[in-house]
Amino acid sequence: MPRVSQLFFKTATVFFLIGIILGLQMGMSGDHAAFPAHAHLNLLGWVTSAIFGIYYALNPARAEGRLPMIQFAIFTIGVIIMIPALYFLNLGNTAMVPLVGIGSFIVLAGVALFAAVVFSNEA
């Protein structure tokens, strides 16, 4: 399996564990104010990262070179910035709005790089 696939699967697994813990915390406390952060973490961190990993595993020629690793780094950094900021924003800290926006645009850049990999004529 290509290295970038392994990295996406490992990262997805960590995000999934954190998402489950966040969901349990919300359920035990009865406070579901942070559910948007929980949903974004599970969909972007777990599901999307796993799909990226599957794509690269099924298309190992597309996993070669620097672009897939750059895409992994940018997407992951975006999720790491966006999700905690969204969590605290959902709890009422409006100072997090700029970080949510910055993280969201970094995630967008990671997805755009993935599109560049998918639509590239090189492999």
67-112 pLDDT, tens per residue? 999 999 999 999 999 999 999 999 999 999 999 999 999 999 999 9
Q: pTM of the full predicted structure?
A: 0.95
Question: Torsions phi, psi of 72, nearest 5?
Answer: -60, -50
72 Cβ neighbours under 8 A, 6+ residues apart: 4, 7, 8, 11, 52, 110
Side chain identity, residue 78: G
Residues 66, 51 contacting (CB under 8 angstroms): no
Cα(119)–Cα(84) distance, integer angstroms = 32
* DSSP state for residue 61 in the 8-state scheme: T
Task: Return the structure tokens found at 89.
Answer: 């924003």
18-29 pLDDT, tens per residue? 999 999 999 999
